[in-house]
A and B are shown apart, each in its own frame.
Chain A
Amino acid sequence: MGAFLISRLLSALVVMLGVVCLVFLLIHLVPGDPVDVMLGESARPADREALRTRLGLDQPMAIQLGHYFKGLAVLDLGVSLHAKQPVAELLAARIPATLELALAAISCALLIAIPLGIVAAVKRGGAWDWGAMGFSMLGVSIPNFWLGPMLILCFSLWLGWTPVSGREGTASLILPAVTLGTAFAAILARMVRSSLLEVLGEDFVRTARAKGVDEPRVIWRHAMRNAWLPVVTLLGLQFGALLGGAVVTEVVFDWPGIGSLMIEAIQTRDYPLVQGCVLFISLAYLLVNTLTDILYGLIDPRIRDGAGA
């Protein structure tokens, strides 16, 4: 397990370095100039050049990248060009909200998807299956920019149960979590159903039933245990994506997360902030994927043994 972990962490580090270099190059290649955004169009060329020099933007890209890596080595992500605050501080202010929403959305999705997927698989072809797959189709098809305002209209305006938007207390978390969780639950429910259907046809399930094991135990202890792998893969991917920020949902609900921060940074060509956001997002992805790999090993010892061999 130790060697498995070390190899995962080393490959994660290489990926991170690659991401930092790629983002650095891409953001500098995109048209648009942070100096324009900071000084406005009416600034004199001499003032532009002075600011460019002050920000270090006049130096060759390799040197700028070198400075960035030098800062990274001491965990200095630089200073936002517009907010004039350290990037690390700006990120730290948004990370709790992002984590909160991601965890709530995943919990919401799991609460909906697992019972729905199991019922759909067990009652295959019946009304429950049709209902569950109908929900799944709807969940995937409804975009968040429509579902969010509809939920607000219903639960905030008409029923008055939740605030419209913002991050003030637990009640304000419900609608964004449901909006994000619904689409994810729809995909997850399909995945649970198909995995479970596959496993339910296996010999060991038939054997368990022949031995007289009651049906809930067959489903939960024997079948689901073997159906978890693809579900965990999907969970890992989705959780990583959620940590990267759910931009549309964050905008609809004014949720102060990483996604909306990154969009603002891109629009204003705030290079250090964009890089900081991307770094956080890739780190989150890698962390979640590494955790997923470790979970694989725990769920299925064959994977762990294979990696260790």
Chain B
Amino acid sequence: MKRWSHAILPTLLLLLTACGEPADRILRMGLASAPLNLDPRYTVDATAERINRLLYQRLIEFDARSMPTPGIADWQRLTSRHYRIRLNARAGPFMHGRRVDADDVIATYRYVLDPDKVSPRRTTLTLIESISKVDALTVDFHLSRTDPLFPAYLTLDILPADLLAKSHDFARLPVGSGPFVLHAWPEPGKLLLQRRNDRQLIELLEVKNPTVRVLKLLRGEIDLLQNDLSPELIGYLASKSSIELQRRFGSNYTYIGFNLQDPHTGDPRVRRAIAHAIDRQAIIDRVMAGAARRAEALFPPEHWLGSGQLTAHGYDPATARRLLSEAGFGAGNPLRLVYKTSSDPYRIRLATIIQSQLKAVGIEVDLRSYDWGTLFGDIKAGNFQLYSLSWVGLRTPDSFRYIFASDSLPPMGANRGRYANSLVDDLLRRAEAAGALPKQAVLYQRIQQQLHEDLPYVSLWYEGQVSAQGERVRGYRLMADGNYDGLAQVSLYQTEEPQDARSAVAH
């Protein structure tokens, strides 16, 4: 009997603790999609990566200009191919008690680099030749080639070496050293995180339909939501006094891609005509309710590479018609193109407006929407003339090689439009061989300029970030790349709190 009570009582107490948390003390955030798998070695979806940022720590982080800055480690460049990483005071303890050390860093990076483990994170790290331990807090990385941007690739979430050795199930039971721990995952689409410093519970709840997400916010069933809202819903929320909206510039880049092997879209005059025929500002102002800014290049102006010096391909229907005429198209012989996009209603709406603007200059566009798998399959196979997509989370200029080098055709890279320019290839080689960042920056800026002239993409806009929160929420900070780091500081307004204190926090 005694043994029985010893086993049962702690379990009951644990259950009572888990269930006893008053529902109104939990902050609820509505997500458009929830992760199925939280193993940072294998996740590729943005939501899982954002949640993992809360559960784990990384060696480096990025500043507002997308330059690498120390995360839980400082780095030192000993030679062009030898970097020394030293864990700093920010390296916290794992949830099972032990502080992050050199063995954890080595185990995490070695796991991902092991070809047999087939981690999607391996690609950017293949330049690592070897990793060695210097002392309990210091690790040396030896590279196979020079890359001054190497620290920017050290973005893996650090896992505990002891659990890695035991093949722990990180997909369902994450163990990290970040500001949160996974408190419960009672069902698919609902995760309960607990902040380690004050035990604040945060529930992440999947609510797929954006209208329903907004209605749940208004009814108080969720406290916070972020992005994936149509302009109409943002406008509706803005009209509600009980809701606080936050907006800020984002860096997710939306573009129209061309197939350069197609006889029509391979003609630069046609691509320039399309660039001049699209009134991006009108779409941003009237359809996107200002929730975006015009883009001229892959990286936004605030990125350390910058793109502010590029001259915009402005809206100019007359020039568009002239260029089409020079390319041999006119009223009697209109240009007909197929434009592929996803089945997302908002994307279809934007594509329909672009279709209408192109029609105004004499381009007949056949708009086709597909589910993601089919669209992506067609684009990778080069089975398209025009398509539109977005690049999310680009930070480092190795993206230029990946997207525009002539030897980066799928599946070797993402040069889906089969763009080939020997000058760009040469500039890429020189930039990669450059020993210092300023020299790299100059070369990458020249690449940006060349791409701007060749137009393998028509840049559309950088989509902004928006969040909406109910009256209980205090101190949530919206991040430029849409991550959920703001949850580390957010708090709930307690009803017993004096009203003046509430106002003070709100302002």
Q: B-contacting residues of A (Cβ < 8 Å)?
A: 30-33, 36-48, 50-51, 54, 80, 82-85, 90, 93, 148-149, 152-153, 156-157, 160, 163-166, 251-254, 256, 260, 266-269
Given A44-B123, A165-B209, list of 6 further CB < 8 A pairs?
A42-B402, A46-B115, A47-B118, A152-B215, A157-B219, A164-B219
* Given known A-B contacts A40-B44, A45-B412, A252-B209, A31 and B377 have beta carbons under 8 A apart: yes
Does chain A have a CB within 8 A of B374? Answer: yes
A30 to B209, CA, bound (A): 26
User: Is there contact, CB below 8 Å, between B373 and A269?
Assistant: yes
Residue-wise, chain B 403-442 has the 8 Å CB interface mask toward A (1 for contact) of 0000000111110000000000000000000000000000
Interface centre among A43, A164, A253, A268 (most CB of B within 10 A): A164
Q: A-contacting residues of B (Cβ < 8 Å)?
A: 36-37, 39, 42, 44, 115-116, 118, 120, 122-124, 126, 171-172, 187-189, 205-209, 211-212, 215-216, 218-219, 221, 371-374, 376-378, 380-381, 402, 410-414
User: Is there contact, CB below 8 Å, between A39 and B120?
Assistant: yes
CB-defined contacts of B411 to chain A, threshold 8 Å: 43, 45, 48
B222 and chain A: residue at smallest CB distance: A164
User: Is there contact, CB below 8 Å, between A251 and B209?
Assistant: yes
CB-defined contacts of A42 to chain B, threshold 8 Å: 120, 123-124, 402, 413-414
User: Is there contact, CB below 8 Å, between B212 and A47?
Assistant: no
User: Is there contact, CB below 8 Å, between B115 and A164?
Assistant: no
User: Is there contact, CB below 8 Å, between B212 and A44?
Assistant: no
CB-defined contacts of A268 to chain B, threshold 8 Å: 373
B371 and chain A: residue at smallest CB distance: A267
CB-defined contacts of B412 to chain A, threshold 8 Å: 45
* Given known A-B contacts A38-B44, A93-B188, A251-B209, A47 and B371 have beta carbons under 8 A apart: no
A256 to B37, CA, bound (A): 17
**5 nearest A-B pairs in the assembled complex, by CB-CB distance:** A32-B373, A31-B377, A83-B36, A39-B120, A40-B44
Can you offer 22 A-B residue contacts whose CB atoms are under 8 A? A33-B377, A36-B377, A37-B373, A39-B44, A39-B118, A41-B410, A44-B126, A45-B412, A46-B115, A47-B120, A50-B116, A50-B118, A83-B37, A149-B211, A149-B212, A156-B219, A160-B219, A164-B219, A166-B205, A251-B208, A254-B209, A256-B189
B217 and chain A: residue at smallest CB distance: A164
User: Is there contact, CB below 8 Å, between B115 and A50?
Assistant: yes
Which among B120, B171, B216 is the interface contact of A165 at CB below 8 angstroms? B216
CB-defined contacts of B205 to chain A, threshold 8 Å: 166, 254
CB-defined contacts of A260 to chain B, threshold 8 Å: 208
* Given known A-B contacts A40-B44, A84-B37, A163 and B115 have beta carbons under 8 A apart: no
User: Is there contact, CB below 8 Å, between B120 and A43?
Assistant: yes
B372 and chain A: residue at smallest CB distance: A267
Min C-beta distance of A124 to chain B, whole Å: 41
User: Is there contact, CB below 8 Å, between A153 and B208?
Assistant: no
A93 to B374, CA, bound (A): 29
Min C-beta distance of A221 to chain B, whole Å: 45
CB-defined contacts of B116 to chain A, threshold 8 Å: 50
User: Is there contact, CB below 8 Å, between B374 and A31?
Assistant: yes
A45 to B413, CA, bound (A): 10
CB-defined contacts of B374 to chain A, threshold 8 Å: 30-32
CB-defined contacts of A164 to chain B, threshold 8 Å: 212, 215-216, 219, 221
A39 and chain B: residue at smallest CB distance: B120
CB-defined contacts of B36 to chain A, threshold 8 Å: 80, 82-83
A167 and chain B: residue at smallest CB distance: B187
Min C-beta distance of B203 to chain A, whole Å: 11
A29 to B206, CA, bound (A): 31
A251 to B208, CA, bound (A): 6
CB-defined contacts of A156 to chain B, threshold 8 Å: 215, 219
Which among B122, B377, B378 is the interface contact of A47 at CB below 8 angstroms? B122
A47 to B44, CA, bound (A): 15
Interface centre among B42, B172, B208 (most CB of A within 10 A): B208
A47 to B126, CA, bound (A): 12
Min C-beta distance of A14 to chain B, whole Å: 31
A254 to B33, CA, bound (A): 11
CB-defined contacts of B371 to chain A, threshold 8 Å: 32, 266-267
User: Is there contact, CB below 8 Å, between A256 and B188?
Assistant: yes
A74 to B56, CA, bound (A): 39
Which among A32, A48, A93 is the interface contact of B187 at CB below 8 angstroms? A93
CB-defined contacts of B124 to chain A, threshold 8 Å: 42
Which among A37, A153, A269 is the interface contact of B44 at CB below 8 angstroms? A37
Interface centre among A46, A160, A254, A269 (most CB of B within 10 A): A254
A253 and chain B: residue at smallest CB distance: B212
A37 to B372, CA, bound (A): 10
Min C-beta distance of B1 to chain A, whole Å: 35
CB-defined contacts of B378 to chain A, threshold 8 Å: 31
B370 and chain A: residue at smallest CB distance: A31
User: Is there contact, CB below 8 Å, between B376 and A36?
Assistant: yes
A224 to B41, CA, bound (A): 63
CB-defined contacts of B215 to chain A, threshold 8 Å: 149, 152-153, 156-157, 164
Min C-beta distance of A261 to chain B, whole Å: 8
Interface centre among B219, B402, B413 (most CB of A within 10 A): B219
* Given known A-B contacts A42-B124, A160-B219, A266-B371, A254 and B206 have beta carbons under 8 A apart: yes
CB-defined contacts of A254 to chain B, threshold 8 Å: 189, 205-209, 212
A149 to B42, CA, bound (A): 36
